[in-house]
Structure formats: structure tokens, C-alpha cells
Structure 1
Amino acid sequence: MIAVQSTPPQSLPSLNPPSVPANAPEHCPGTESEQAGKADACAGCANQAICASGATRAPDPNLPLIAQRLAPIKHKILVLSGKGGVGKSTFTAQLAWALSSGVKADGEEVQAGVMDIDICGPSIPTLMGVSPDEGSVRSTAQGWEPIYVLPNLALMSIGFLLPQQNSAIMWRGPKKSGLISQFLKDVAWGPLDYLLVDTPPGTSDEHLSAVQYMKEAGIDGAVVLTTPQEVSLQDVRRELDFCRKVGLRVLGVVENMSGFVCPSCKGKSDIFLPSTGGAAQMCKEMGVELLGKVPLDPRIGMSADYGVSFLDEFPDSPATEAYLGIIERLKQKLEE
């Protein structure tokens, strides 16, 4: 059952960042960025010298507020991949369904939340079965109320803030960072056991902002997704390097679409051939753990389209068995 909120905002919140001077070049990184005065876009800017000196960089006043807001959340996990199309958002949704179905030692339900920071391609609302017509964000004295798909499963996405479902988001980096800051600072998540952050592919603005804003509040780590073929593994190696450079713990790697398992005969065949050894070999080379391999099952895509839990709908699938093994290992690592 979907808990529906009241009237959605008519327009997106104003998020023009104050750190970008009015006369800045088109791709200004912002005065608080480490690239201030050093990026290619800074060449010829009248503010280049002062930005490069570091005089404009001051501690972000939002960081203490974000840390305070996230303090009641026990575990905070980023879901990453350098490659698009590897099933990252689908995995996040299934992980959220699975975690929210758990029960704690005291008999209470596990409280989970999903924050979708794929600003230009928000898919979490569809994957969780909430359309913009059904769910909308309401502002209260405590902050923005997330959308609840279950009493113990909350969501926040820019998809809930768009005037129309098909509206394009054409924002540059500073404005994306502003919205991520607002999701972390202003959304009244309340006490959660898990907050999953679904990210876009790459190692750019959204990823840097999320790590920067959440670090003070403590991030448990990242789950990195890949598919078996080398073209995906190349980008995922860069993602793992990103985690190393920003000091983000890698909880493990998941190999998605790891062969196709026929729902009828249970026979398996490789669709994406692991020509260089797949995720297992990459993890060995990079010194990270392979949490598991999830085979292709056409019913995963169907469950995603209908916004339901694949694990609940098809408990006999080999993919469900793989998901549950990954989730169990992930829980173990979070408690270590």
C-alpha cells in the first residue's frame, strides 16, 4: 500500500548555489570546489587568481546540519557503478524491499530509506511502484516528508518534485549538488536502520557531493555493481579507484546479469561473456570482495516495471537465492 502525500510543489525549489559568482564562466566549478581557479573553465575568468588562492573556500555551513539530520540513521550505503545500464537502480530497489522485510532482535520492523540522487534519470519512483501522480513531497515543520511505499520504507527522489513525469532536468553540477545537499539536510528521514543512496553512473558531481556531505555523518561504505564483460569492468575499476581516492570503504562488488537462467528448465547460459575473468578476477586484482553474482531472470525486469519486490514474487528463482546471499553477506560486513 502506498502512503500518498498532499499537493506536489508546482516548481522545483530554488537551488542556485551562492558559491558561483554572477560573472563566472559557463562551467564554473564553484568557489568551494578543490578545482576552483584550476579547472579549464577558469581560464580567462576575472576571479581565477583569488579562487585559486583558496581564499574563497570556507567550511560548508550545511555539513553540521546534514550530520545532525543523518545522526539517527544507523547504516548509510552508496550504490555505485562507473558503467550505466548494469542494473544499479534495480538492485537498490530489491535491496530496499529485502531490508524492509526484516525484523530486528527486539521484534521491531527494520526501517529503511532510499535516496535517489540520479538527478537526470530518476528511476526509483517507478521501480518502487510510485508514480508522480500518486506520490508528492510535503513540507512540514520537521522538513520535507519522504514518500512511504510501506510504513517502514521511505523514498526521496527528484522524480517526486517534477511538474510532469516526462520533464527533463537540465542542470549543471552546482545545482545538482545543491539538491543533494537539500535532500540530506531537509528531508525528515527520522530513525532508520538503513539509508541506501542510488547514484548515477560515473565519478562526477553527484558522487563527489554525496561523499563530501555524508562523510561527517559517517558512511558505512559502497556496493559497486558491474556486469561480466570487460567493457563494464573497465569503468568499474575507475569507480573503485574513485572510492580509494575519496576514502570510501568498498563493502563489495556485485556481478549483475551473470548468465541467464531459464525459468522453466533452470539451464544457464552466458549472455555477457566474462572474457577477462569477470568480476571475480577483477576483485582479485583490486583487492575487494565479490559479494555475489546475480543471474539474469526476465521476471526481474517485469517486477521493476510493476514496482514490486522480485524476491517476494518469485522466491524460487536462482536470482532470488543470489540476492539473499548477497544481502546476508552485506549485513555481516556492516556489523563487523
Structure 2
Amino acid sequence: MSENCGGNCSGCGQNCEKRSLKESLHEGSSVKKVIAVVSGKGGVGKSLVTNLLACKVHRDGFKTAILDADITGPSVPTAFGLHGEKAEAGAMTMKDGKAQEYLKSVKTSTGIQIMSMNFLLPEENTPVIWRGPVISGAVKQFWTDVVWEDVDFMFVDCPPGTGDVPLTVFQALPVDGIIVVASPQQLVRVIVEKAVNMANMMNVPILGLVENMSYVECPDCGKQIRIFGENNIEGIARDFGLKVLARIPIEQKMSVTVDNGEIETLDVNYVDEAASVVENLLK
């Protein structure tokens, strides 16, 4: 089986032995559910949605983690104020008496576990100039070589599109569901369709849609102003048989809080429904 195989053998025509491409966790790790946050294009707010979900689910009493799969453009550490942090490396003795090397995830102030490329670079502004296969290998290692401690929900912040890294996440990790992030522009249908079709080809359940930059609320009268025009997210969701789980506005306070690395202090309810859908996976 080729590593480019999507796992959908219908009409494939290839004579290959079907086998699982799933990678095993480090022996010292435990992760119950994996949720991938994806989009068909960049700049729609996948990292924001990932971070908000991890914070909300963590506040609800679950142990959460974020695997930052955006290797060349990691932004998760900034939102949590993790500047200059480094992932600790070491070795632990396993049940068979052998020593197995590991990387230890970095914990936020409230205890959310995170692994990001920034924790392995000499400086956080050092560019990662790698080709696709090497980047995909790094994502796998974040799963196989990192010790994740008793995680209930791991959120994977995927880079945009349907290329190497999202494919690696879907193939190598036991993804229990994905959340598709979109923005209100008219081209959103094509963006959502690409992400949905990829998920369907990979046989990964879609939990629902999140619309970011949905509106701006007038500070004087409270009216919701749709600066990108009237959206059609409900119609798109209906066409694909999906739920709209959240509509996140453009909000200065939220933007400043994230830029200051204080996302864990945000008291907003924008992703509450999405978080509830995720949490129900353990019920």
C-alpha cells in the first residue's frame, strides 16, 4: 500500500494488501480522543478555534492537549504566552526494562499540554525550510515520540488545504472527528467542499462547521454587522448534512488577548456548542 493511499479501495484498481497506516503512541502516553481542526484554505482561524476549544473543554474538567501540526507556521504557543519554552528530551524505562527516548510536551499555566515546532527551534523566529515528507515525519513524531499524560481530548491544529500534513494526520493518527473552519466569503462553499470531501474519502467523521469572522457587533447598539455580506453557512451545512457549531465574531478584545498570550483568560461562549459535541464523544 502506498503512503499516498487514501484508504478508499472502491474503484482503486490497485492490487495491494490493505493495512493500517496508524502510528502507535509512545508507551508512556495515553490519549482517548483525537479531534482535527481543518480548513480548505488558510487565514480562516483554525488555530483560534483549536485554542478556544482546548481551553473550553479543559475548563469543563477534561484533560486536553494540542498537537500543533502547522510545522512551518506554528502560532499556538503565542496564544498561550509560551515564548522561549523548550520541549524536554529524555528516556524512560519501559515495562520490558528497555529505555525509550521521549519528548515531553510543554504545559500552559492551566495545564493544557502542547507540542509545537517552536519548542524545538533555537529561536521561535527561525524558519522551518523543509520539504513535505520531512514535515509529515515531524507530525508523526509529535504523536509517537512525545509523552502525552492521560489526555482526554487532543486537538490537532492542521495547516490549510488537503496536502501532505492533513493527509498524514488522517492516516497516521486515530482521528475520531474533524471540525471544519470557514469564513463568510462566497468562496466558502468550495473551501468547505474540499475539506468535507477529503474527510469522506478518508472515512473520518465530520463533527460540524465553525464560521469565524462571522460578524462585528456594534459597541453602541449591539447590532450584528456582517462586513463580508450575508453568509450562506446554514445552506452549505444543510447541503452536506452538517451542523453549524459556532459563529465567532471579529472582536478586538479577543484579538488583543490572544496576541498577548492570554487566551486562557478569555471568558467567551462562542465555542460552547462545539465543545459539547466533542465532549459527547466520551459519553
**TM-score range relative to shorter protein:** 0.7 to 0.9
- What do the CA deviations read for 1:285-313 (whole angstroms, capped 9, x no partner)? 11111112122211121111011137x44
Give TM-score, length-normalised by structure 2.
Answer: 0.85
Of structures 1 and 2, the one with the larger relative CO (CA 8 A, separation 6+) is 2
How has the CA–CA distance of structure 1 residues 293 and 64 changed in structure 2, closer, same or farther, with 3 Å as cutoff?
A: closer
Distance in 1, matches of 2:28 and 2:204, equals 20
Distance in 2, matches of 1:129 and 1:91, equals 17
* Aligned partners of 1:66 and 1:214 also within 8 Å: no
Q: Which residue of 2 aligns with 1:122?
A: 74
Q: Which residue of 2 aligns with 1:160?
A: 119
RMSD: 2.5
Q: Which residue of 1 aligns with 2:33?
A: 75
Secondary structure of 1:79's match?
strand
Secondary structure of 2:259's match?
helix
Deviation at 1:167, TM superposition (A): 1.5
The one-letter amino acid of 1:331's match is E
Q: Does 1:301 align with 2:255?
A: yes
Distance in 2, matches of 1:58 and 1:229, equals 40
Residue 236 (structure 2) aligned to one of 275, 278, 282: 282
How has the CA–CA distance of structure 1 residues 321 and 264 changed in structure 2, closer, same or farther, with 3 Å as cutoff?
A: farther
* Aligned partners of 1:74 and 1:192 also within 8 Å: yes
Identical amino acids, percent of aligned pairs: 29
Distance in 2, matches of 1:236 and 1:77, equals 17
The one-letter amino acid of 2:171's match is Q
* Aligned partners of 1:67 and 1:214 also within 8 Å: no
Q: Which residue of 1 aligns with 2:274?
A: 326
Larger helix proportion of the pair: 1
In the TM superposition, 1:195-274 aligns within 5 A as: 195-215=154-174, 219-274=175-230
Q: Which runs of 5+ in 1 are unaligned?
A: 1-30, 36-51, 104-109
Secondary structure of 1:66's match?
coil
* Aligned partners of 1:227 and 1:233 also within 8 Å: no
* Aligned partners of 2:245 and 2:271 also within 8 Å: no
Q: Which runs of 5+ in 2 are unaligned?
A: 7-13, 93-101
Which one has the largest radius of gyration?
Answer: 1
The one-letter amino acid of 2:88's match is R
Deviation at 1:83, TM superposition (A): 1.6
* Aligned partners of 2:105 and 2:147 also within 8 Å: yes
Give TM-score, length-normalised by structure 1.
Answer: 0.73
